[in-house]
Amino acid sequence: MVASYEVGRRRVPVSLLPRIAEVLAASVETLIGKSDTTPSKRGPAPKLQQQIERIQRLPRAKQRFVMEMIDTVLAQQNR
């Protein structure tokens, strides 16, 4: 006997999808069931991408701290 599960359905305003995706650490495409069709490059991810992925795994408070530091550096660059 195979267990079956019914997926619930919920109407959500489109404007909330980015926030929901952020909270769930998923992409909007994943939430709506669309896969990314762009082919990925072979080989290791660039260092910046690896660092961003590591930052995403940090607790929210530390993510905010890192973002503030990045914002500060970028603001100084624009002067």
Q: What is the mean pLDDT of residues 53-60?
A: 92
The pTM of this model reads 0.43
pLDDT grade for 38, boundaries at 50, 70 and 90: low
pLDDT confidence of residue 66: 93
Residue 2, CA distances (Å) to 10, 16, 65 in order: 26, 35, 47
User: Does the structure show a pLDDT above 90 at 79?
Assistant: no
Q: Return d(Cα 26, Cα 72) in angstroms, integer.
A: 27
pLDDT grade for 32, boundaries at 50, 70 and 90: confident
pLDDT grade for 69, boundaries at 50, 70 and 90: very high
Cβ-Cβ contacts under 8 Å for 55 (sequence gap 6 or more): 63, 66
Mean pLDDT of the chain: 80
